[in-house]
């Protein structure tokens, strides 16, 4: 064997590693009986899967990693990865595969018949005269993405996005469904609502995204399902046809788990709507007779039981060693409390009457008050007691007050609008209200900030009282 040939073999082997062992299946389309049916010409069982991460030190547990900027951009476009969410995530798991839809024969009910295109109606000699109809083969393409968003309650929160492209013309247009099951060691994260989208082609070739309402056929224990109509027809024309369905779901994994998407096609002529039930992965989905279930390969998601380190700092108002007054200039201070090293910056904020840390923006020459926390570790939960100092704080509709965290792009993101009446912050400081705030991605900077548009008078007003605070940090 020559030197050139040996080099070609080495390059070929290296290319398999560089492209994550991904073997792309060639799929061809052809016309059959005016049905534009897509059929297999080669084996479609190969699965494309990889993990993308922006952190080169991240352990992908045996799955190849892509890190270069150019490769990332190409992957984002090819697999519909949300770039902004990806860069906020610890990693993005991606899996794509084609799932076959077998050919099968359907028999018309007594007194009815099919036409040559599979439409069913009362039997007639001239048109609906076929006793059977053979549904053609085809496939659907599953693209499953899992964004490792961060931590909640000691578990990893994953945003599961499943996209199903219908590379198959289903003849009978009934109600179909996308089911996303999760395995053991996972539960629904209810901090973000799931949502579904049907991408449809309307009259005039217009593509539109329609919302699908998520359902939990068996409660929150096992997953989520999205039911939708494949098409809508009048007697003479097709108003729309669904080309793609997308489901978004959020789970918390306490340990290694999996997600399993399944597309269910209903060809029940008598009952066009679906009735489905399911449990966790490993137990089959029940969808009744005359349905076809196309299940993807489960995507395994790493959990971190016994690997997640939890650190908690409980702070009382007296522990900051703040002076009992509202300074008109910023004060910086370092703190070492129970082995937590952090610093604060504050304006118009002090420890008042040995009760609370107060912020007071409303006084002549002021207008703003804040306390900012700077930590060495990522903070993922903030539990905080809040109240107004009294019911006579001269707060107007133009005043504002927020708890915020700084994200990885340097933007301040709102956790709580203190002035929003829906949050019912009490005006009796003796009975503060406790708020539990979650920062999935984690942040090292958190602040409470309040502003008054028209500060006046020689009294300290607009006072917001901060009681006990708990900061929780997770790491692995």
d(CA 106, CA 270) in angstroms, rounded, equals: 13
Q: Structure tokens of 462?
A: 């607009």
Q: Give tens-digit pLDDT for 94-112.
A: 999 988 877 778 888 888 8
pLDDT of residue 461: 94
Domain boundary among 301, 335, 363: 301
User: Are 297 and 385 found together in one domain?
Assistant: no
pLDDT of residue 106: 81
Confidence of residue 31 (pLDDT cuts 50, 70, 90): very low
Over the chain, what is the mean pLDDT? 81
Confidence of residue 61 (pLDDT cuts 50, 70, 90): very low
Domain boundary among 237, 268, 301: 301
Question: Does 325 reside within a domain?
Answer: yes
Sequence-ordered strand ranges (E) for 203-355: 207-212, 214-215, 217-220, 223-229, 231-233, 238-253, 257-266, 291-295, 299-301, 309-315, 331-337, 340-347, 349-352
User: Are 227 and 355 found together in one domain?
Assistant: no
User: Are 170 and 222 found together in one domain?
Assistant: yes
Question: Does 117 reside within a domain?
Answer: no
User: Are 28 and 144 found together in one domain?
Assistant: yes
372, 361, 446: which is closest to 398 by C-alpha?
361
Q: Structure tokens of 236?
A: 């003479």
pLDDT of residue 42: 31
Cα dist. 132→104, 106, 108, 262, 270 in Å? 10, 6, 6, 28, 16
Average pLDDT over residues 191-209: 87
| DSSP string computed for 168-198 | S--SS--EEEEEEEE-TTEEE-TTS--EEEE
Domain boundary among 258, 273, 301: 301
User: Are 344 and 470 found together in one domain?
Assistant: yes
172, 106, 102, 168: which is closest to 140 by C-alpha?
168
64 has pLDDT over 60: no
Question: Does 368 reside within a domain?
Answer: yes
Range(s) of the domain holding residue 392: 309-475
Average pLDDT over residues 217-236: 78
pLDDT of residue 286: 84
Q: Give tens-digit pLDDT for 428-451.
A: 999 999 999 999 889 999 999 999
Q: Give tens-digit pLDDT for 106-145.
A: 888 888 888 877 777 788 888 888 888 887 777 889 999 9
Average pLDDT over residues 417-427: 94
pLDDT of residue 235: 56
58, 57, 87, 62: which is closest to 72 by C-alpha?
87
Number of domains forming the structure of the chain: 2
């Amino acid at each position: 064997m020559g030197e050139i040939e040996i080099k070609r073999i080495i390059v070929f082997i290296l290319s398999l590693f560089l492209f994550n062992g991904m073997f792309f299946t060639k799929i061809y389309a052809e016309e059959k009986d005016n049905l534009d049916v897509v059929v297999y010409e080669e084996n479609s069982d190969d699965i494309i899967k990889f993990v993308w991460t922006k952190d080169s030190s991240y352990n992908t547990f045996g799955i190849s990693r892509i890190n270069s900027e150019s490769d990332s951009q190409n992957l984002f476009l090819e697999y519909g990865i949300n770039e902004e969410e990806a860069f906020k995530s610890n990693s993005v798991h991606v899996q794509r595969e084609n799932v076959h839809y077998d050919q099968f024969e359907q028999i018309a009910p007594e007194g009815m018949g099919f036409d040559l295109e599979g439409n069913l109606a009362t039997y007639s000699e001239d048109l609906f005269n076929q006793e059977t109809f053979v549904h053609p083969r085809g496939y659907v393409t599953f693209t499953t993405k899992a964004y490792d968003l961060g931590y909640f309650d000691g578990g990893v929160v994953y945003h599961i996005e499943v996209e199903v492209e219908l590379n198959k013309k289903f003849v009978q247009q009934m109600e179909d469904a996308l089911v996303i099951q999760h395995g053991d060691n996972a539960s629904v994260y209810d901090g973000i609502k799931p949502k579904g989208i049907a991408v449809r082609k309307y009259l005039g070739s217009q593509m539109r995204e329609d919302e699908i309402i998520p359902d939990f056929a068996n409660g929150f224990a096992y997953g989520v399902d999205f039911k939708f109509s494949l098409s809508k027809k009048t007697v003479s024309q097709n108003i729309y046809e669904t080309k793609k369905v997308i489901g978004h779901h959020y789970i918390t994994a306490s340990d290694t788990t999996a997600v399993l998407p399944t597309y269910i096609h209903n060809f029940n002529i008598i009952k066009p709507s679906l009735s489905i039930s399911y449990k966790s992965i490993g137990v089959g989905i029940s969808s009744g007779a005359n349905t076809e279930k196309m299940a993807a390969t489960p995507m395994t998601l790493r959990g971190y039981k016994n690997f997640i380190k939890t650190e908690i700092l409980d702070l009382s108002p007296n522990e900051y060693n703040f002076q009992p007054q509202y300074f008109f200039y910023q004060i910086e201070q370092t703190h070492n409390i129970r082995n937590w090293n952090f610093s604060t910056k504050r304006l118009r904020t002090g420890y008042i009457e040995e009760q609370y840390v107060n912020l007071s923006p409303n006084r002549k020459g002021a207008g703003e008050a804040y306390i900012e926390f700077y930590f060495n570790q990522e903070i993922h939960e903030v539990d905080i007691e809040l109240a107004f100092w009294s019911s006579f704080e001269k707060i107007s509709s133009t005043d504002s007050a927020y708890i915020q965290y700084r994200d990885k792009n340097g933007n301040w993101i709102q956790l709580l609008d203190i002035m929003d009446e829906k949050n019912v912050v009490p005006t009796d400081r003796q009975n503060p209200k406790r708020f539990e705030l979650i920062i999935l991605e984690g942040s090292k900077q958190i602040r409470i900030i309040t502003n008054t548009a028209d500060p006046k008078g020689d009294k300290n007003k607009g006072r917001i009282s901060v009681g006990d605070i708990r900061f929780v940090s997770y790491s692995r």
